[in-house]
Structure 1
Amino acid sequence: MEPNYDVVVAGAGAAGMMCAAQAGQRGRKVLILDHAKAPGEKIRISGGGRCNFTNIHTTPNNFLSENPRFCISALRRYRPKDFIALVDRYGIAHHEKTLGQLFCDGSARQIIDMLLAEMAKGGVELRLQTTIEAIARTETDFTLTVGGQTVACQSLVIATGGKSIPKMGATGFGYDVARQFGLRVTETRPALVPLTFDVSLLERTAPLAGVAVDATVAAGKTRFAEALLFTHRGLSGPAILQASSYWREGQEIAVDLAPGQDVYAHLRAARTTRAKAAPATILAELLPKRLAQFLSETHAPKGNMADQSDKVLRPLAEAVNTWRVKPVGSEGYRTAEVTLGGVDTTELESRTLAAKTVPGLYFIGEVVDVTGWLGGYNFQWAWASGWSAGQSV
């Protein structure tokens, strides 16, 4: 049977649409499929609806993988400046927020519309609310059962993402396809996700829900200095989301709630210069008032500064500068921004994202064992891996 498409892309997200557009503009006949009602749903909700579409500081060091060097080729072939140039060509206004993160001034919908326009330039056919029921490989092509019909193609690209945010339809479909063709899938787990406390710790920290503070959070040897947020389940905020990718069950995280401040020295000095002040008052100079009150009630419940011995002040300071806490778990895929792990990179060509043992099969984006930090890095991986595959399919 003659293939009726050169390329079929499964998944109309960031990586899939980029790949389809590139392949189509190279003259390939492309079909892109998605079971959702609309394309680019994760793009639409990202960045508070403004889409943190890349990070100008992207390097391979901003990604986790069993093979940290795998992402280098694609990231070099398609850089942040390349995607920014595309955004600029479409007149989409954008700004840098912090730490190299670029956001649309307007709606994330502009990025989706741009990708749809790029696909249209390549004559790409888009089918939504369409489920792939089966995939088979012949000697010359792939055959897909789609809505009871058979579709054939020379190249099949899996861009179906990971398991994060299942309410948006996320599934493990891409991993199932990899296993069907004998490709290894690494352990997968929620990443960029809030961490949760056990009941006894939650009972103590419940009064802090909603309190935010700039902090340094370390998981193992990796540390992040960004905002931290106390929640009614545990901890969230950018610093925690970043650390969650490195944290494992049973491990502690180390939190400095006043980075750059020697809280013990500050308290000892205040004991002399402001002896009649309450400990909470002194701490509130460094921390949000509610957090200062909570810590002082826990560690220095009686008296003013003059009444506090070094034996009291040291653990109070350590609770601020070196708080060690053991989360019991995470909020899981329900709120995770990405999935850590995926299709083993040893199974793929780093330049093209093609499966080494299955000619014509490609895996791109989040389904691959390449996971970026928070802050636009995962979108840059989507653009880079999608573009790289799009040059080859």
Structure 2
Amino acid sequence: MDSFDVVVIGAGAAGMMCAIEAGKRGRKVLVVDHAAAPGEKIRISGGGRCNFTNIHAGPANFISANPHFAISALRRYTQKDFVAWVEREGIAYHEKTLGQLFCDDSAKQIIEMLTRAMRANGVELRLRTAVEKIEKTESGFRLALPHGTVTCASVVIASGGKSIPKMGATGFGYEIAQQFGLNIIETRPALVPLTFEIKTLERLKPLAGVAVDAVAACGKTKFAEAMLFTHRGLSGPAILQISSYWREGQAITVTMAPGVKLTEVLKAARGSRGKQAVITVLADHLPRRVAQMILDEIGAPNNVGDLSDKLIARIDEAVNAWTVKPVGSEGYRTAEVTLGGVDTSQLDSKTMAAKDVPGLYFIGEVVDVTGWLGGYNFQWAWSSGWVAGQAV
């Protein structure tokens, strides 16, 4: 029977980070994962270039039943710390919009950086190895693996959430938490495209594939990024962001010409160039197909000079206060992360340890801490993995 100081379940971003830090402290560490390769979510992220962090990452960019829980980990291991490591490894990177950092070359460079560090610190990695059973013992834990049993003093659950099941995502981490008496905050798909009912889809069918810079709002929360019409509903960064705040039965409001006072634009055009087509004026501020659909539905005249104040107000509302009620989302199949997870009230924010189960830790996506789109969830993985690695 093999014996370890620490067994980390999950060879993703958080799990590998934790294993590296524990290995640096001289701990005998085993990482197990049922996947065939480590860091699969890292590999596919950012279009294969890995949006590995965000220069603006901070507690305000995360959703949790306890918004203060993430503060300690995010402050102790910051985005600057991870970027410094990337730079030491000679990995070229660049900033995209809103502070998002991507590899110039490939996400595989981040995976290689992590696996290289695990080897350098004596971490053993076993892939294609599912954990069949975990039991608490007087001295720690006993884990049943396909090829035998291992014991350890500490177990770290870094198994991720339910998002992207085709890559092997399961609810394993939540099951283990419940086995040991921890509460689970309701889980749901997050950072996910939203879907419409059939009548709305039929109406919007001609817009599939059209993108527009927009502000998507749900309640008091709003995000200004690109939006994409799809054959199932809406996608794009603005919609993925707002999906984490949207709930069934709620409407979202979209501004499709942000910063443009369309009422003033149309009235000015009516006064100075009345014979110009309304579609021509609108097409200066949003995609022509979107503009045409709005005008067709409103029944607007061809010439801007024939617009009444009432019609102008209706056009402005249709463009800059378009309110629609999604019926659902595309689910875990395309969700980038899982909202909810292990209740943070039962975890120590400084170590990620379960308060009532000595030696048991939860890190990364399995915890009820969910970041915005744009590298924030990777930063949570690095930060939570790092702090656990200092404690196990």
- Superposition TM-score, scaled by structure 1 size: 0.98
Native 8 Å contact 1:277 1:305 kept in 2: yes
Q: What one-letter code is carried by the residue in structure 2 that aligns with 1:129? A: R
Supply the distance in 2 between the matched residues of 1:303 and 1:247 (Cα, whole angstroms): 37
1:130 CA drift (Å): 0.6
Q: What one-letter code is carried by the residue in structure 1 that aligns with 2:373? A: L
> Root-mean-square deviation (CA), in Å?
0.9
Native 8 Å contact 1:242 1:374 kept in 2: yes
Supply the distance in 2 between the matched residues of 1:301 and 1:272 (Cα, whole angstroms): 17
Supply the distance in 2 between the matched residues of 1:269 and 1:302 (Cα, whole angstroms): 17
| CA deviation profile, 1:116-152 (whole Å, cap 9, x unmatched) | 0110111100000111000100111100000041110
Supply the distance in 2 between the matched residues of 1:203 and 1:267 (Cα, whole angstroms): 29
Partner in structure 1 of residue 281 of structure 2 = 282
| CA deviation profile, 1:99-125 (whole Å, cap 9, x unmatched) | 111000000000000000110111100
Native 8 Å contact 1:11 1:33 kept in 2: yes
Q: What one-letter code is carried by the residue in structure 2 that aligns with 1:280? A: I
Partner in structure 2 of residue 113 of structure 1 = 112
Partner in structure 2 of residue 176 of structure 1 = 175
Q: What one-letter code is carried by the residue in structure 1 that aligns with 2:42? A: I
Native 8 Å contact 1:226 1:239 kept in 2: yes
1:220 CA drift (Å): 1.1
| CA deviation profile, 1:285-319 (whole Å, cap 9, x unmatched) | 10011111111111134331122212222111100
Partner in structure 2 of residue 16 of structure 1 = 15
Supply the distance in 2 between the matched residues of 1:89 and 1:255 (Cα, whole angstroms): 43
Within-5 A mapping of 1:311-330 = 311-330=310-329
| CA deviation profile, 1:154-205 (whole Å, cap 9, x unmatched) | 0000000000000000000000000000000000000000000110000000
1:218 CA drift (Å): 0.7
Supply the distance in 1 between the matched residues of 2:195 and 2:30 (Cα, whole angstroms): 42
- Superposition TM-score, scaled by structure 2 size: 0.99
Supply the distance in 1 between the matched residues of 2:272 and 2:197 (Cα, whole angstroms): 40
| CA deviation profile, 1:310-345 (whole Å, cap 9, x unmatched) | 222211110001111111110000000000000000
| CA deviation profile, 1:199-249 (whole Å, cap 9, x unmatched) | 000000010011111111111111111111111111000000000000100
1:382 and 2:387 correspond: no
Partner in structure 2 of residue 146 of structure 1 = 145
Supply the distance in 1 between the matched residues of 2:147 and 2:185 (Cα, whole angstroms): 32
The sequence identity of aligned pairs, in percent, is 69
Within-5 A mapping of 1:194-343 = 194-343=193-342
Supply the distance in 2 between the matched residues of 1:303 and 1:215 (Cα, whole angstroms): 26
Unaligned runs of 5+ in 1: none
Question: Secondary structure in 1 aligned to 2:349?
Answer: coil
| CA deviation profile, 1:327-370 (whole Å, cap 9, x unmatched) | 11100000000000000000100000000000000000000000
Native 8 Å contact 1:300 1:308 kept in 2: no
1:98 CA drift (Å): 1.1
Native 8 Å contact 2:274 2:304 kept in 1: yes
Supply the distance in 2 between the matched residues of 1:77 and 1:17 (Cα, whole angstroms): 18
Question: Secondary structure in 2 aligned to 1:341?
Answer: strand
Supply the distance in 2 between the matched residues of 1:391 and 1:92 (Cα, whole angstroms): 25
Q: What one-letter code is carried by the residue in structure 1 that aligns with 2:137? A: T
Moved over 4 A (4+): none
Within-5 A mapping of 1:66-105 = 66-105=65-104
Partner in structure 2 of residue 36 of structure 1 = 35
Question: Secondary structure in 2 aligned to 1:218?
Answer: strand
Question: Secondary structure in 2 aligned to 1:216?
Answer: strand
Native 8 Å contact 1:13 1:39 kept in 2: yes
User: What count of residue pairs does the alignment treat as equivalent?
Assistant: 392
1:356 and 2:355 correspond: yes
Q: What one-letter code is carried by the residue in structure 2 that aligns with 1:321? A: N
Q: What one-letter code is carried by the residue in structure 1 that aligns with 2:101? A: L
Native 8 Å contact 2:133 2:145 kept in 1: yes
Native 8 Å contact 2:300 2:307 kept in 1: no
Question: Secondary structure in 1 aligned to 2:341?
Answer: coil
Unaligned runs of 5+ in 2: none
